[in-house]
Amino acid sequence: MSRINDDVSLVSASRAGNTEAFGILVRRYQDRLFPTLLRLTGCAEDAHDLLQDAFLKAYEKLERFHGDSSFYTWVYRIAVNLTLSDRRRRRLPGRAGFAGAELSDPSDDPSMTDPSRPVEQAERDALVQQALLALQPDHRAVVIMKDLDGFRYEEIADALGIPVGTVRSRLHRARSDLRERLRSIVDDEPVRAASPLMQSFLEE
């Protein structure tokens, strides 16, 4: 049985009152979803709280899940929209003091013989995270969904309830803003040498 089909079975069991089945879905996807919320909020505590809220809301709205998308995509939409609503309500662009280096582990590529390389990479990733947090929440969400989480334009538009053209416009502005904020990094080092977290923002 594929994981997608297995998810549908777990959702059906959850609707029937099997809380253990829903617990399996939570454990299956919470670690995958948490980094997105961490990037959106810049605060691990907020991200954990919103993650719990997202799964609680998903459980309460299971009757609305019709299987048109995967369960992960469905709960991802719920979590992102909850986070954006929370940021707007609290008027918090993100926590400026957040250590973005927590988002990625240093590379273990044996070709990187310079012992200072992982530390420098972590510092650059922290700068990327700070630049992300300086964006408007709506712009930050689009660039994270597209460049880091790999969603298609149509999926982002559907998740956020906006036209595809708006997604493209926000993404263009977000990328331009990020490149400008990170210009010193771009000028200092070729994009191909940057970590995966940076590459999607810095490539023209």
Q: Which of 74, 95, 116 is the last residue of a domain?
A: 95
In terms of residue numbers, what domain contains 191? 103-204
- CA 197-200-203 angle, to 5 degrees, is 130
Position 87 pLDDT exceeds 90:
no
pLDDT in tens, 29-81: 999 999 999 999 999 999 999 999 999 999 999 999 988 889 999 999 999 99
Residues 114 and 65 in one domain: no
How confident is the model at residue 202, as a pLDDT?
Answer: 56
What does the mean pLDDT of the chain come to? Answer: 81
User: What value does the mean pLDDT take over residues 115-142?
Assistant: 79
CATH number of the domain at 159, please.
1.10.10.10
The number of domains in the chain is 2
Cβ atoms 57, 91 nearer than 8 A: no
Residues 113 and 200 in one domain: yes
Tell me the longest C-alpha to C-alpha distance in the chain.
57
Residues 85 and 111 in one domain: no
How confident is the model at residue 120, as a pLDDT?
Answer: 66
Residues 38 and 118 in one domain: no
Residues 118 and 34 in one domain: no
- 122: three-class secondary structure by DSSP: helix
Confidence (pTM): 0.75
Residues 113 and 152 in one domain: yes
Please provide the distance, in angstroms rounded to a whole number, between the alpha carbons at the two ends of the chain. Answer: 41
Position 83 pLDDT exceeds 80:
yes
Position 150 pLDDT exceeds 70:
yes
How confident is the model at residue 25, as a pLDDT?
Answer: 96
Residues 90 and 124 in one domain: no
Residues 126 and 152 in one domain: yes
**Residue partners of 119: CB distance under 8 A and separation at least 6:** 106
pLDDT in tens, 10-38: 999 999 999 999 999 999 999 999 999 99
Cβ atoms 30, 38 nearer than 8 A: no
Tokens of 50: 């919103």
Q: Which of 79, 95, 111 is the last residue of a domain?
A: 95
Q: How far is CA 18 from CA 9, 15, 52, 57, in A?
A: 11, 7, 18, 16
Residues 87 and 111 in one domain: no
User: What value does the mean pLDDT take over residues 100-105?
Assistant: 40
Residues 76 and 132 in one domain: no
